Amino acid sequence: MLNPAQLSSDDTGVNGAIATDIPVSTSLKGFLSLEEMRTYRQPVAWRSVRDFALVWLQIIAGVAVFAWWPNLLGLAVALFLIAGGQHGLNLIAHEFVHYAVIPRNRKWNDRIGTWLFAAPVAVSLPIFRHRHFIHHRTYSTDADTKYIYKRDISGSNLWIEIARSVTGFEFAYHVYAVLLETRKKSPADDDPGPQLSQSLLPLLGTQLVLLVLLSLVHPLGYFLLWILPLITLQDLFFKIRAIVEHQPPMSDGGDPTSPYFRGTPATYVRSVNASLFERLCICKINFGYHAEHHLWPQISYQFLPRVRERLTEGEAFADPRLAFEASYLAAIKRLWRPDEATQNPTGNSYARPVASRIAKQDVARCPVCDATQPRRLYEVREHEYDNTTDDRFPFVECSQCGAWFLNPRPAESELATIYPPNYYTNVLEERSGGDVAAAKSGLFHRIQNWLFKRRIKPIEKHVRFDPQTRWLDIGCGSGGVLDSMREAYGIRGTGIDMLPGAVEVCRKRGYEAHAVRFEDYTPEPGTRFHFIHSSHVIEHVASPFSYLKKVYDLLEPGGITVFITPNTSTWEAKFFGRHWGGLHVPRHWVLLNPGSSRRLAERAGFEHVETSFSTNGTFWTWSLHSLLAERFPRRVCDALLPSDHRFIESTLWNVIRGGLFSAVDALNVLLTGRSANMAVILRKPFHPETSRNVDDAGSE
């Protein structure tokens, strides 16, 4: 356990020690070296100029909007842009407070920070610094100078806090509190701190310049375009950010007499991803990397993303005193309605609590080739279903075979968590159970049947199907593929699936089916199959090698198996990165490419026959949903690109969208020769005396 180190009064960390406020369970002493600390302390000058100038450009754009469009709507747009820019000036002033802009010349650091960023928004840089350093030393206690985040915003309290800001009351109250504090001794320091008189010249001088310039735009320009947004919307943006970054969720078993907020027993700070909208008004210059900042306050904002990578690699966010949010507004919503925080926001019947810090299993070796020392790819969270888990999962890539796998992955005891009641296969089973005939005549079934026949076509040249063919469908669900094979070739197969309800539907359809995991499946003694099929199953299992070995044992010599699975070796996977739909976190545990799948097959004893590629519009839906989910409200994303069970509904929009994405995939196969959906066809070594239905042309 790392004890919290108290920040020095200047917050420089010049001795190279970790200046951290947060005691985390993982020791942080090895995260950053002394050389990294020194490097991250020195910002890139041109980047600072660019980032800081963009904030002023946003303010100028707001003024220009009103100058060009001087009406109520133009004023509303201008107020939003200007207030967001003003809050950005506050955040930039914060960098100067930490001596993180010009660290080697504090005099010029303070001059530029005061005149160009702090004073224009009525902030005294010396007072700001004094109070802010107390905040770093004392946050999560009664002595913290940042008090806004300790207000309860649940229920109607949120509207009260909004009203306090947009009426200007909060701004006036804050100014009064600061002035009062400068006249007395600080509760957390023997030093009463700097006096306002030290900052009067820049405060008055910058306001005079703004008064003159904005009066050229409108006689009341200074009051309409500077003072009004500063004391209303800018204050609201500050309040939202402070609450999200510091306020803990409702205490769970904490001591109600704790000096911290609502009985929370320990420190708490969030890091937050920001949508485009939030970057305009709430979060600029990487300010969402807030846990990282509290851990190393002396590091420039420019290097906080690198610190985030190191923390996620070390699983520091597993500590309950740290948190990671998808957006500011999503966090505000949970704090606003704590009693609904664990419910499905769509309000449907599948709502259930969202699990955190679920049980996980470390993967010491590559599940495909047993190699060690994989490289890290992405840190990914669930986005498709809102009733599973909010944990983050790392995808890694094997340095030997190129397979991708989760490490750590969910433990098998968490299968009921990561496959919710409304997982799309469960819903298909649920709907099919009532009326088999209706399910088979539905639009979704007909489309799936047609797509399956296209995917299975390449197998026909390697295996001859006849009425005596014994075949097995792994992960049969409600029997869609069993139906398709019977309609296409007139043969009945056997199905296995983990879901008892799905198996019952298969039996209603007239098939032999078993409710069992494939790993535990044992057919009648002497039973062997001529053909074994699985579609999007192998990526869900912990050991693809053990899976294929069992398939091998169940096949007749010369028998054929095909498994359909995502293909990571595509431009879509590279382009979308951590948003790629094929990741399907946390349910896809191992992902393959043509090379790694062939290596896996040969290791299991198979002969590789062919790898073919087909369309899968679902991956496009999931990819775009993941991209949108970080920038827009959940309901908007779900309406445009439903990613949970709703994507299988027979709606006109689903058909149009699915058809469009399938056409894109078909063009992709035509132009590049591959897609994100591959079918790997394998043969168990052939022996003429024991095999009957593999044709001679396809055998060696």
Give the pLDDT confidence of 172-225 residue by residue, as tens digits.
888 877 777 665 554 444 555 677 777 788 889 999 999 999 999 999 999 999
Please say which residue of 418, 438, 465 terminates a domain.
Answer: 418
Same domain membership, residue 428 and residue 414: no
Greater confidence, 558 or 9? 558
pLDDT digits (tens, 9 = 90+) for 431-483: 555 444 444 445 555 666 666 666 677 777 888 888 888 999 998 887 878 88
Upper half-sphere CA count for residue 68 (Cβ side, 13 Å): 8
Which helix (H) or strand (E) segment holds residue 164: the answer is: helix 157-166
State residue 539's pLDDT score: 95
Q: What is the CATH number of the domain that holds 392?
A: 2.20.25
Same domain membership, residue 248 and residue 131: yes
pLDDT band at 595 (very low <50, low <70, confident <90, very high): very high
Same domain membership, residue 590 and residue 550: yes
Q: What is the CATH number of the domain that holds 510?
A: 3.40.50.150
Residue 345 inside a domain? The answer is no
d(CA 359, CA 618) in angstroms, rounded, equals 28
State residue 361's pLDDT score: 93
Which of 479-483, 594-598, 659-663 holds the top average pLDDT?
Answer: 594-598
Across residues 220-238, what is the average pLDDT? 92
Same domain membership, residue 112 and residue 226: yes
pLDDT digits (tens, 9 = 90+) for 407-439: 999 999 999 899 888 888 777 665 555 444 444
State residue 139's pLDDT score: 77
Residue 16 inside a domain? The answer is no
With a threshold of 0.75, does the pTM exceed it? no
Q: State whether residue 602 is helix, strand or coil.
A: helix
Residue 532 near residue 472, CB atoms below 8 Å: yes
Query: Which has the minimum average pLDDT: 153-167, 242-256, 519-533?
Result: 242-256
Query: Which has the minimum average pLDDT: 121-125, 144-148, 464-468, 685-689?
Result: 685-689
Same domain membership, residue 595 and residue 470: yes
Residue 341 inside a domain? The answer is no
d(CA 631, CA 637) in angstroms, rounded, equals 9
Query: Which has the minimum average pLDDT: 2-16, 567-581, 631-645?
Result: 2-16
Average pLDDT, the chain: 81
Same domain membership, residue 432 and residue 581: yes
Within 10 angstroms of residue 695's Cβ, the number of other Cβ atoms is: 11
Across residues 564-573, what is the average pLDDT? 94
What residue type is 467 in one-letter code?
P
pLDDT digits (tens, 9 = 90+) for 34-93: 887 888 888 999 999 999 999 999 999 999 999 998 898 889 999 999 999 999 999 999
Nearest to 465 by CA among 696, 699, 692: 692
- Dihedral (CA of 342, 581, 319, 634) sign: negative
Query: Which has the minimum average pLDDT: 110-119, 463-472, 581-590?
Result: 463-472
State residue 265's pLDDT score: 60
Counted domains in the chain? 3
Structure token pair of residue 560: 């054929």
d(CA 540, CA 533) in angstroms, rounded, equals 15
Q: Is the peptide bond before 688 cis (omega within 30 degrees of 0)?
A: no
State residue 170's pLDDT score: 86
Greater confidence, 413 or 321? 413
Residue 10 inside a domain? The answer is no
Same domain membership, residue 285 and residue 257: yes
Same domain membership, residue 437 and residue 575: yes
Structure token pair of residue 608: 């590789």
What's the Rg (C-alpha) of the chain? 30
Same domain membership, residue 447 and residue 462: yes
pLDDT of 257 over the 60 cut: no
Across residues 248-277, what is the average pLDDT? 65
Domain that holds residue 160: 34-335
DSSP-derived pairing of the beta strands 392-397 and 375-381: antiparallel
Residue 445 inside a domain? The answer is yes
State residue 688's pLDDT score: 43
Upper half-sphere CA count for residue 510 (Cβ side, 13 Å): 6
Residue 2 inside a domain? The answer is no
Please say which residue of 392, 418, 444 terminates a domain.
Answer: 418
Residue 102 inside a domain? The answer is yes
The DSSP code for 4 is P
pLDDT band at 6 (very low <50, low <70, confident <90, very high): very low
d(CA 112, CA 117) in angstroms, rounded, equals 8
Contacts (Cβ under 8 Å, ≥6 apart) of 372: 364, 365, 366
Query: Which has the minimum average pLDDT: 155-164, 192-201, 339-348, 530-539?
Result: 339-348
Residue 234 inside a domain? The answer is yes
State residue 594's pLDDT score: 94
What residue type is 638 in one-letter code?
D
State residue 443's pLDDT score: 53
pLDDT of 243 over the 90 cut: no
Nearest to 478 by CA among 532, 437, 530, 519: 437
Greater confidence, 249 or 578? 578
pLDDT band at 579 (very low <50, low <70, confident <90, very high): very high
What residue type is 668 in one-letter code?
N
Across residues 222-251, what is the average pLDDT? 86
Residue 589 near residue 539, CB atoms below 8 Å: yes
Greater confidence, 109 or 693? 109
d(CA 59, CA 217) in angstroms, rounded, equals 13
Same domain membership, residue 226 and residue 127: yes
Structure token pair of residue 557: 């010599």
Across residues 641-656, what is the average pLDDT? 78
Same domain membership, residue 177 and residue 67: yes
d(CA 157, CA 663) in angstroms, rounded, equals 50
Output the CA torsion 103→2→264→318 (10° steps).
90
Q: In what order do the strands lie in the sheet with 607-614?
A: 512-515, 494-497, 471-474, 529-535, 555-566, 677-683, 607-614
Same domain membership, residue 163 and residue 248: yes
